[in-house]
Structure 1
């Protein structure tokens, strides 16, 4: 056998052996994960928080998922109070062509989440009805365009990433909750508004080719007024109507894991 033939056979053997996957040995995938969004992604309500003004918590679903999956890289620009313009104008800067996974919650602040909750908690039934009606109209008529622009900006910066859009939970149980609580009627129409918002987000995520994750089933039975609530009431001003640490772990993290592993 000539030296040239032996050399060719050796190269072929090396190539074949290099392509063999050893049974039982998992091949580690590169996961470059970026968590975008508002307070429901940054972890408001879970605490403790970083030193930024964004109230980022390592007990939010995003860092919990990253830690459980030993990701290659993790970036966490999600920020409490963020609207779609903040994601487009700033947060997408954390993305690149190397990004393989993006998660996001966004849209609630665009629809006036804080003002609606304040109107319903401290205002009259009419105040609450008007605030909820305005938020539902905004979510139906204006928010779709803003979401489309946001998802397009993410796709532009991270064309190789899987985009996962998480919705919002219903915040309330509607049974008896004490004399000082919001009425069952107010809690019901707020939950209905959450359903409208989630429906819009799901539709626009689908149109963008993203994976939509419905958080509502995972929080069911654990809203404000539940025996074991995972949502803060008004006891903490900043954290009011946000998940607590259990909500992020057993609600959002469980929802995300059910969708993508």
Structure 2
């Protein structure tokens, strides 16, 4: 089933850009009005959207606007939310390229399922067409030997599905994770965000550790991803993610007083 959000001006201009093409001050961008009637059924939610989500959370400096768009697009794809039609244009305005958005969709598909990738691809194509964007060449992963991925030697998850284990190493980690359009750090924060939203506890534990130990994600960035995703994936999933991050930080001797 295909959905399409038909709010006037959203696909063409996004929520964070002046339709006249002129520059927009970031604080003005954050506080810009939502599409008409979006919060008519819950007016206070509309107030919180402006005052908390956009004027506070999106303005926190611990993650760039680009990073926030990257993880928001990923989470909305994973949860099959119509707001993806808003956040793909916003991501373009926040410094993501169309090619990077294409790569986000590919990456998230392996964590949230093929139907989410199909729908996100359709939504992205509409946004790109509205802006006259034609995707450039998408570089492939370099030719490398099969990559085992994190925790392979400890996992018995694939004993009963051996072909899945082969594909995990050859496709997910040997191909998708090695594609150069997104950095390993980008892929880690994206994967943490999606696994938080999906309440995938075991995978989230693995990827918080991998992000910290291998891919250059800082404890503050992990903390900030969890905070940001709370407003798109829900409070219970955030509490679960926070608990897992606390365990990971304790093992690594992170100074909790340094977190903001």
TM-score of the superposed pair, with normalisation by structure 1: 0.31
TM-score where L is the length of structure 2: 0.31
Give the number of the structure whose alpha-carbon radius of gyration is greater. Answer: 1
Q: Which has the higher strand share?
A: 1
